[in-house]
Structure 1
Amino acid sequence: MSKVIINADDFGYSRGVNFGIIDAHQKGVLSSTTIMANMPGFGHAVCLAKDNPDLGIGVHLTLTCGCPLLNTVPSIITETGEFHHLSFYENKFEIDMQELYMEWEAQIEKVFAQGIQPTHLDSHHHVNSITGITEVFVKLARRYQLPVRNNFSVPEDLKTTNRFYATFDRLACEKPIWQHMNRNNLLQECETYELVEVMCHPGYIDDELLNRSSFSNNRPYIIKELMNEKYPELFKEYHIQLNTYADI
């Protein structure tokens, strides 16, 4: 039997995003999410998490959105106290990797402090795959003995999935993705690899999302797709089991 983890990024981004993730979990096939400890919706997300114990919750380590938890990390923030934009890391950059380690450690510890046992680690905007930053990410994964997203060259001693499927959002906004599954797209991935993570970004639009994110208008369509009744039918027909990172 193949296994699939359908994971929503950005839990904690805002109340609208949080409610969208929970609807996709309660009424659809979303099985996992990753939480942002530094964002305004974090406390709200924690409350929702405790009411939904079957939802796997990892840590969405953040370096390019909002403000850090620590006030002792000058190399990773701008003059206004916010994290550098992603574009800062797309060219040659210099930051203090120890400061990054301490900030990400603080984010992980904040999740633990709320009584949540994280299932895994990934990162906002995939910054964990950037040279230099990867080493910090791996060091923390080893320290906390947590599985990681398979979006970089994962060391053999860390647990991960066999495949990372990153195109769900685009397909969901074009047409019902179960049609793509029937044409051997995602379905073929699940049949080929023992354990697949499907990344997605569901959410309802609110002012926080509109003010901060360039990816907002399509999120409600992703919720709708995750609640498509065809998924349970296909998963049953093709012997695909929904999982979380806690299961690997």
Structure 2
Amino acid sequence: MKLIANADDYGLSEGVNYGIIDAYQNGIVRSTTMMVGMPGETHAVELARVNPGLKIGIHLRLTAGQSLCSGLKTLTNEAGQFNNQTDFYGNENICPEEVEREFRAQIDRFLSLGLKPTHLDSHHHCYGHPAAYTVVQKIAKELAIPLRTVDSKEVSRIGEFSYRFSDEFYGDVSESMLLDIVDREIARQGQNCILEVMCHPAYIDPALYQMSSYCIQRVRETEILNSDSVKRALAERGVELTDYDFVTQLAG
């Protein structure tokens, strides 16, 4: 099995950035996705430059922080803040043109930072919204980079490998939870598969504490992702750590 442990929310805050870099340097994370326009953006770029082996995609957002574009009447409030997750998914009147404008602005911002995106995914799976998914599929095709699925039940083929994304490593996390996710995938698909596991390593800082209720769990995730026992258990199962460069090579 090939395992992509992708750390979401890079750029959210300095504490998040430090946790992700720790899980890259000392743990099983090889891939992350970055939120631009958030408090930790500049810090994230600085850390990326001294950790060039960490592969970085774009974590598109429509449910957190300030929009990069103005006048998004179906996506933001009067102050330009994105609506929360509940209001976003409950909104049947989201304008696809506004989604596309904002997504392209975020991608342009990422590229302006001197970074090369390995793939696209999104905060709170926001591009899975019916008004957004066709838009992001078009953009991913233009950029010729992979797009993470939002359906954890969907299995696709990439070359000779099966691929599935899992968002199950979340909440009351443990080493056994992570290994169970891996074991179930091996049982379903055999060793010739790619499993992407979403994770959120971080250390708590004031910015994260103010923005997210998922805090102490992130610290626990960092501990698990860095655990020597997890690394040994994965090696015993024949699991190889990889990133989205491998997916692109297969697809190409």
Is residue 17–residue 40 contact of structure 2 (8 Å, CA) maintained in 1? yes
CA distance in 1, matches of 2:44, 2:113: 11
The aligned counterpart of 1:170 is 171
Q: Structure 1: give runs of 5+ residues left out of the alignment.
A: none
Please show how residues 38-117 of structure 1 align to structure 2 within 5 Å.
38-117=37-116
Are the counterparts in 2 of residues 7 and 30 from structure 1 also a CA contact under 8 Å? yes
CA distance in 2 between counterparts of 1:108 and 1:190 reads: 34
Q: Which segment drifts farther, 232-241 or 132-141?
A: 232-241
Q: How far is the alpha carbon of 1:10 from its aligned partner?
A: 0.3
Aligned-partner residue type, residue 164 of structure 1: F
**Would the alpha carbon gap of residues 161 and 89 (structure 1) be closer, same or farther in structure 2, given more than 3 Å must change?**
farther
* Inter-CA distance 157–230: structure 2 relative to 1 (3 Å threshold): closer
In structure 1, C-alpha distance between the alignment counterparts of 2:17 and 2:102, rounded to whole Å: 23
User: What is the total number of aligned residue pairs between the two structures?
Assistant: 242
Aligned to 1:186: 182
Identity %: 36
Q: In the alignment, which residue of structure 2 is the partner of 1:20?
A: 19
How far did residue 161 of structure 1 move? 6.7
TM-score, with normalisation over the residues of structure 1? 0.89
Provide the rounded CA distance (Å) in 1 between the counterparts of 2:157 and 2:175.
Answer: 37
**Structure 1: which amino acid aligns with 2:164?**
R
Could you tell which deviates more after superposition, 97-106 or 59-68? 97-106
> 1:190 offset after TM fit, Å?
4.0
The Cα shift of 1:142 comes to 1.2
Secondary structure at 1:77's aligned position in 2?
coil
Does the C-alpha gap of structure 1 residues 187 and 171 become closer, same or farther in structure 2, counting only changes over 3 Å?
A: farther
Deviation string, structure 1 residues 113-162 (Cα, Å, up to 9, x no partner): 222111100010011111121111111111111101122498x8999971
Q: Distance in 2 between matches of 1:162 and 1:70?
A: 34
- Corresponding position: 1:31 with 2:27: no
2:210 corresponds to 1:211: yes
Residues 20-70 of structure 1: per-residue CA shift (max 9 Å, x gap): 110111011111110001211111111111111111111000001000112
- Which residue does 2:250 correspond to in 1? none
SS at match of 2:32: strand
Letter in 2 for 1:165: S
When the two chains are superposed, the root-mean-square deviation of aligned CA atoms in Å is 2.4
2:20 is aligned with what amino acid?
Answer: I
1:143 aligns with 2:139: no
CA, structure 1 residues 60+129, in 2 after alignment: closer, same or farther (shift >3 Å)? Answer: same
1:190-245 CA distance string (max 9 Å, x none): 45441000001111111111111121121111100001102322232222111111
Opposite residue 36 of structure 2, the aligned amino acid is A
Q: Secondary structure at the match of 2:109?
A: helix
SS across alignment from 1:169: coil
Comparing 190-199 with 20-29, which one deviates more in the overlay? 190-199
Q: C-alpha deviations, 1:175-201, integer Å up to 9, x for none? A: 3337x62xx542231454410000011
> 5 Å matches for 1:205-244?
205-244=204-243
State the TM-score, normalizing by the size of structure 2: 0.88
Give 3-state SS (helix, strand or coil) of 1:79's partner.
coil
Q: Secondary structure at the match of 1:68?
A: coil
Q: Which runs of 5+ in 2 are unaligned?
A: 248-252
SS at match of 1:137: helix
SS in 1 for 2:216: coil
Q: Structure 1's 157 and 222: CA in aligned 2 closer, same or farther, altered over 3 A? A: closer
Letter in 1 for 2:40: G
Q: Distance in 2 between matches of 1:110 and 1:28?
A: 29
